[in-house]
Amino acid sequence: MKYKEFNKKIIELVGGKGNIQSVVHCMTRLRFTLKDRSKAKTDELKALDGVVDVVSNNVAYQVIVGTHVNEVHAELISMLDLKNAEGDDMPKEKKHPLKAMLDLVSEIMTPVIEPIIASGLLAGFLSLFTITGILSEEGSTFLLLNSIREAVFYFLPILIAMSCAKRLKASPYLAVALAATLVSTSINGVEGLSIFGISLPQTTYANSFIPIILAVWFMGKLTVFLQKRIPQFLQYFLNPVLIMVICLPVTLLFFGPIGIWIGDGIGWFFELLNNTFGSWIVVMLYAALQPFLIMLGAGNFMMPLSLNFLNKLGYDPIFLGAATISDIAVSGAMLGYFFKAKEMKQKQLFGTVSFSALMGVTEPAIYGAFIKFRRPFIAVIIGGGLGGLFAGFMKVKTYSMVWGLMGLPSYAQNQDFSNLIFMVASVVIAFIGAAIAAYILGIPSEEKSKDTVAAPGGDSKPLNKKVIFSSAAEGEAVQLENIKDQAFSTGALGKGIGIIPSSNEVVSPLEGEVTVVFPTKHAIGLKTDSGIEVLIHIGVDTVELEGKYFETVVKEGDRVVPGQLLSKVDFSGIIEAGYDPTIIVIVANTPDYLDVIPTASGAVTKDCEIFTVIV
């Protein structure tokens, strides 16, 4: 329970367990449904270590905690009695329709993003490889790799069913079974079908998402209905078959056609918009305003629309391209601030979040800089708007479900090289336009001193500060990949460095607290006041020695300073016993930081720098 105390404070500040009706999450935010929002102490919540910001409006009550939100949410759910909170006996809050839709879309789409991104990027690289002649479209390698992309979208209803079943109170396995039935060769796109003598319209369920969402929603309602009316001892046998036998005909007769009509309606609306005003205005507006949508928690709303376009047209003429242009504009705005800033800490901040946005992750920039300085929003409106305007006029098409710089090769899909050129020109316009605008607008002087934010896990620390650690022993530094222990050599437990000791003393590399001393004395955990967790593992597989050859001189809770003795170790005895004496020093919470960079090589002394943590 890494975030137990953090979640306790959140529960308290949103009005207690009794005030929480439900809580979901998206990429960076906890989205609460509160019975009485006036009970929430929003200002105190914003000031809580680990909370980046709180967005409270008519759409949602959102607590932004960062990209580790899934871990926070998992522990939060385990601490809340959500069964009672969502039970039929509890008064239901009448949700704002837009809020209910955003909650549902966010919850459904977030788990599905992973395979979608994988398939989209793969499509981009395959396009690049075929253009350069590395692969042939008729070759076996291309066909096998391309099958990943095709499978993800063909079986999209199955992924959607799995994602939304729990949210809609349906059995995930029955939902997946229903989706698999719909995309089977017996039903998908087959003409002349009928059920109970009623003719069925020809419907293609592969690549679709609206019919299965409607079907799973109905399945959830039917499940609750049957649980109340079927005797308990018969439910295990009867409910599954009744659910499937009822849901399939209803889906084929109603939800399939309705879902297709909704998809066609969305397409018709944007076609009308395109014929009346031109799609350029939508591309321009979305590219200019996407950061505001991300702040509102509505960043995922475009995904179903994009999926619908890809399904109906084979490409997205609006949203995916506009999202990429907007991300690049955010990167450009932060680069403009990078050149404008005079303070090194600010330069580090703006440079880091600029690169992150370039790779398609804009939350660090939006919550770390945009909200504080405000003016970058204007820069993105200018740069993103100009880039989106150009892309709209040039009718840029996005052929794969992908966004960000890494997805650019996919714009040449189907040998559409002019489309790629126009897209590259659009992102260049957005990047340069936003960078120039941000540089001219400048950094508000009253904001320059604000250079700290809350860190993941609940500790507050300076943005992008370099924290340098000294050696834990005298000896010779070795890189982790050379350690004869797969868990450490692969970096699975965190980044760091190894030391082949030349003396029998192991000392502290930092100022902080001893958080753990293993009973076998072969490992010691330390933590800085800013929250960096360091593990010192003395020897490889030395846990088997059960404390022999180790004399630890500190205990849990002790304060230590760099160079302070932690343990005396008989390394010659360890070697004679057949064990590797290498001391491994790693940052256990490496994912919480931008990077951990080893800086030592060769001989080291106790006061040598061994690695740097970029906060």
Return the active site residues.
26
Query: Which residues lie below 8 Å from residue 352, measured CB to CB, with a gap of 6+?
Result: 364, 464, 594, 614
How far is Cα 572 from Cα 393, in angstroms, rounded to an integer?
74
How far is Cα 376 from Cα 393, in angstroms, rounded to an integer?
25
In a 3-state reduction of DSSP, which class is residue 221?
Answer: helix
Name residue 595's beta-bridge partners: 614
Exposed, middle or buried: residue 538 (CB in 10 Å: 0-12, 13-18, 19+)? buried
| Phi and psi torsions of 217, nearest 5° | -60, -45
How far is Cα 346 from Cα 134, in angstroms, rounded to an integer?
43
How far is Cα 333 from Cα 357, in angstroms, rounded to an integer?
10
- Note the helical H segments in 136-201: 140-154, 156-164, 172-182
Q: Are 336 and 436 in contact (CB under 8 A)?
A: yes
Q: Are 11 and 17 in contact (CB under 8 A)?
A: yes
The per-residue DSSP string of 356-372 comes to HHHTT--HHHIIIIIHH
How far is Cα 615 from Cα 390, in angstroms, rounded to an integer?
38
Name residue 514's beta-bridge partners: 526
Q: Are 329 and 431 in contact (CB under 8 A)?
A: yes
Exposed, middle or buried: residue 128 (CB in 10 Å: 0-12, 13-18, 19+)? middle
How far is Cα 547 from Cα 542, in angstroms, rounded to an integer?
8
How far is Cα 612 from Cα 599, in angstroms, rounded to an integer?
7
Q: Are 467 and 612 in contact (CB under 8 A)?
A: yes
Of the candidates 562, 577, 585, 583, the one whose C-alpha atom is nearest the C-alpha of residue 502 is: 583
- Round to the nearest angstrom and report the end-to-end CA distance of the chain: 23
Which uninterrupted H or E stretch holds 552?
strand 550-552
Q: Are 157 and 182 in contact (CB under 8 A)?
A: yes
Q: Are 582 and 536 in contact (CB under 8 A)?
A: no
Tokens 């006041």 sit at which residue?
529
